[in-house]
Amino acid sequence: MATQLDLQEQEQLDELKAFWKRYGNLITWVLVLALGGFAAWNGWNYWQRDQGTKAAAMFDALEGAARAGDAARTGQVFADLKNKYPRTAYAGQGGLLAAQAQFDKGQVDEAAATLGWVADNASEDEHRTVARLRLAGILLDKKQYDEALRQVDAAKAPGFEALAADRRGDVLMAQGKKDEAKTAYQAAWAAMDARLEYRQLIEAKLTALGAAPAAQGAK
């Protein structure tokens, strides 16, 4: 009996050796790739968390400077934030805060440059859209109407349709295109929630154009 078991074990061992000789390298490489991928995934998650933590701390400093009305400090912190952590949501949000602080201090060109960076580089579509709409307002004041419309057309985040249409109407009005502006304002009014006070401003613009909207429920 012992001899028979020994023979069976030897046969199994020989089969295992033959199998490993044929497929051993392939199995080894698959394991290496799998383990390597797992390690890379863990490393990536750690790096993401580390980046987020550091960006959050920098954003807090930026927010404090903005609240204090220190446009110079706000701009400096934002420059560091976008250079070190450009793909975090904090960079886009920080850019919007920095641009507002710069604009409030009369640093219009600096605000436009900051908004331009957010519009082109922010990781969140909402931040890019807000930046484009605000930048369009600055370009409107500078009478750079074509570029202002280009920014409005690129403002595509869902939920901002009414604000984009309203801004488009402002630019078209400045160009003297009253009929096109009226169409844009009508689209903005229809898309704007009736519970928002901003809708009354759009209604006033339409009324001034002789196109006061009929009372109707919110869309």
Radius of gyration of the chain (CA): 30
Contact 217/190 with Cβ under 8 angstroms? no
Give me the pLDDT at residue 216, please. Answer: 44
**Residues 167-192, mean pLDDT to the nearest whole number:** 94
Instruction: With beta carbons less than 8 A apart as the criterion, state whether 91 and 56 touch.
Output: no
Q: Percentage of the chain with pLDDT > 90? A: 62
> What phi and psi values does residue 217 have, to the nearest 5 degrees?
-70, 165
Q: What is the pTM of this model?
A: 0.75
Q: Are 59 and 80 in contact (CB under 8 A)?
A: no
pLDDT, mean of residues 18-32? 62
What is the per-residue pLDDT for 213?
A: 86
Closest CA to 112 of 74, 146, 140: 140
Cβ atoms of 109 and 121 closer than 8 Å: no
Instruction: Give the type of residue at 73.
Output: R
As a whole number of angstroms, the longest Cα–Cα distance in the chain is 107
Domains and CATH numbers, the chain: 46-156 (1.25.40.10), 159-210+215-219 (no CATH)
Burial per residue of 191-218, b for 16 or more beta-carbon CB atoms within 10 angstroms, e otherwise = bbeeeeeebeebbebbeebebeeeeeee
Residue 104 pLDDT: 94
